């Protein structure tokens, strides 16, 4: 006796996944579909798999073209997820207005994704009303943005931000070894674009590889919470294992910025004696205590 199909669908809907767009290229041009059945298969040789419904045109196109690319969507690309699943009414050409490039096989690689994988079709297996396509990875790359689009129970989503459980609060004497990015967020009247900060961080890390801390200094209190969040997400892909700290400026958004930082992977906060321009140490400590974030001694940085 087999499981009831509705039960099966409902149970599978409980399984959360990322979202990809699978693309291929043939005499008809580009083809694309949304898929979440993507999985890593083998390291040596590098193989991945996708499962594609037999009734889809993409099924035969991939099999005949013998190649496909997997584009891992970021949380900002829900529109792409819907577009390539045929969920946007009126969209006939799924690639209209979508920027792509090619890598190894000629399949379109979407820009602004988390990562992409370009494959030669290695094998195809019977998977009931789907086929299991195994791809040999010929080329792959990642972009800087590090937050994936998720799919669960027919809803699109993203990871909830988890508040740091512990943080260090440094004063100027503790962060002498830190690599400081001054005016990290520009000026209040002229906020710095995220790309500018990413470029500055890259440059700083090129000249001082693996510092004990990369400290974003917001003396002019230019950061607003949304900008700060985007900036922290964007530099996450650049800093590698280097811890990131924030020296929050003393503007009206200061404590909101501290909260955003603590929810965006920042575990080091820095105060300065110049409390006209920076959040004061007692205010940082008080805030952390009220939020029940454990305060680590500054030595924990070493
Ligand atoms: C989040 C999500 C994940 C999907 N994953 C798959 C998948 O792994 N395999 C598949 O065959 N279809 C999957 N689909 C459905 C296809 O994207 C959809 O049937 C296809 O794009 C429709 O193409 P058509 O309009 O050309 O028939 C998924 C759809 C969504 C919204």
Mutate to test the pocket of ligand 1, among 28, 32, 34, 37 (most ligand atoms within 8 A of CB): 34
Least reliable range by pLDDT among 157-161, 252-256, 290-294: 157-161
pLDDT above 80: residue 131: yes
The DSSP call for residue 76 is G
Q: Is the CB of 82 under 6 A from ligand 1?
A: no
Distance 9 CA to ligand 1 centre (A): 14
pLDDT above 70: residue 144: no
> CA 16, 21, 22, 28 torsion: positive or negative?
positive
Q: Is the CB of 52 under 6 A from ligand 1?
A: yes
pLDDT above 70: residue 148: yes
Q: How many CA atoms lie within 13 A of 89 on its CB side?
A: 0
Question: For the chain, how far is it from start to end, CA to CA, in angstroms?
Answer: 61
- Phi, psi angles (nearest 5°) of residue 228: -60, -45
Mean pLDDT, the chain, integer: 93
Query: Tokens for 259?
Result: 């909260």
The DSSP call for residue 278 is B
Q: If you count them, how many residues does the chain have?
A: 302
Distance 22 CA to ligand 1 centre (A): 10
pLDDT at 253: 92
Q: Is the CB of 284 under 6 A from ligand 1?
A: no
**In whole angstroms, what is the distance from residue 121 CA to residue 144 CA?**
28
Q: Give the pLDDT mean for 67-82.
A: 95
Residues 202-225 have pLDDT tens digits of: 999 999 988 999 999 999 888 899
Q: Which atom of ligand 1 is nearest to the CA of 33?
A: 21
- Evaluate the omega torsion of the peptide bond into residue 45 and state whether it is cis, within 30 degrees of 0: yes
Convert 101-118 to b/e letters by CB count within 10 Å (16 or more is b). Answer: eebebebbbbeebbbbbb
Distance 145 CA to ligand 1 centre (A): 24
Distance 140 CA to ligand 1 centre (A): 22
Q: Give the pLDDT mean for 166-192.
A: 89
Q: How confident is the model at residue 95 (pLDDT cuts 50, 70, 90)?
A: very high
Q: Is 75 helix (H, G, I), strand (E, B) or coil?
A: helix
pLDDT above 90: residue 172: no
pLDDT at 175: 80
* 246, burial (CB in 10 Å: exposed 0-12, middle 13-18, buried 19+): buried
pLDDT at 236: 83
pLDDT above 90: residue 141: yes
Q: Which atom of ligand 1 is nearest to the CA of 53?
A: 11
Q: Is the CB of 53 under 6 A from ligand 1?
A: yes
Mutate to test the pocket of ligand 1, among 12, 23, 33, 57 (most ligand atoms within 8 A of CB): 33
**In whole angstroms, what is the distance from residue 11 CA to residue 287 CA?**
42
Beta strand residue intervals within the chain, DSSP E: 17-18, 20-26, 29-35, 39-42, 47-53, 67-72, 100-102, 108-110, 115-127, 130-142, 150-152, 155-157, 166-170, 179-181, 186-187, 190-191, 214-217, 244-247, 268-270, 294-296
Q: How confident is the model at residue 234 (pLDDT cuts 50, 70, 90)?
A: confident
pLDDT above 80: residue 143: no
Q: Would you say the pTM of this structure is higher than 0.75?
A: no
Q: Is the CB of 264 under 6 A from ligand 1?
A: no
Q: Which CATH superfamily is domain 5-157 in?
A: Electron Transport, Fmn-binding Protein; Chain A (2.30.110.10)
pLDDT at 300: 54
Least reliable range by pLDDT among 17-31, 53-67, 234-248, 278-292: 234-248
Least reliable range by pLDDT among 98-102, 136-140, 146-150, 155-159: 146-150
Domain range summary for the chain, segments of one domain joined by +: 5-157, 166-301
Nearest in space to 201 (alpha carbons), one of 224, 218, 184, 188: 184
Q: How confident is the model at residue 146 (pLDDT cuts 50, 70, 90)?
A: low
Q: In angstroms, how far apart are the furthest CA atoms of the chain?
A: 73
Distance 34 CA to ligand 1 centre (A): 5
Q: Do 216 and 181 form a contact (C-beta atoms < 8 A)?
A: yes
Can you name the CATH fold of 166-301?
TIM Barrel (3.20.20)
The DSSP call for residue 210 is S
């Amino acid at each position: 006796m087999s499981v009831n199909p509705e039960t099966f669908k409902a149970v599978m809907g409980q399984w959360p996944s990322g979202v990809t767009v699978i693309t291929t290229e043939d005499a008809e041009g580009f083809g694309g579909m949304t898929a979440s059945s993507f999985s890593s298969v083998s390291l040596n040789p590098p193989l991945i798999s996708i499962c594609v419904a037999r009734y889809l045109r993409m099924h035969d196109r991939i099999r005949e073209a013998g190649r496909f690319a997997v584009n891992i969507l970021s949380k900002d690309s829900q529109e792409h997820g819907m577009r390539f699943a045929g969920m946007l009414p009126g969209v006939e050409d799924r690639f209209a207005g979508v920027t792509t490039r090619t890598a190894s096989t000629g399949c379109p690689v979407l820009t602004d994704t988390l990562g992409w994988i370009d494959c030669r079709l290695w094998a195809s297996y019977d998977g009931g009303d789907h086929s299991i396509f195994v791809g040999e990875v010929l080329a792959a790359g990642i972009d800087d943005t590090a937050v994936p689009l998720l799919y669960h129970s027919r809803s699109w989503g993203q990871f909830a931000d988890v508040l740091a459980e512990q943080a260090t609060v440094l004063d100027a004497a503790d962060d002498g070894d830190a690599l400081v990015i001054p005016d990290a967020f520009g000026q209040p009247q002229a906020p710095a674009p995220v790309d500018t900060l990413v470029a500055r961080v890259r440059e700083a890390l090129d000249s001082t590889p693996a510092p004990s801390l990369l400290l974003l200094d917001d003396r002019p209190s230019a950061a607003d919470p949304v900008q700060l969040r985007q900036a922290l997400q964007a530099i996450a892909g650049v800093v590698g294992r280097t811890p990131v700290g924030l020296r929050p400026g003393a503007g009206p958004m200061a404590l909101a910025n501290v909260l955003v930082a603590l929810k965006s992977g920042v575990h080091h906060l820095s105060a300065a004696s110049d409390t006209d321009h920076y959040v004061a140490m007692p205010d940082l400590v008080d805030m952390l205590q009220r939020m029940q974030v454990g305060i680590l001694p500054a030595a924990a940085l070493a």
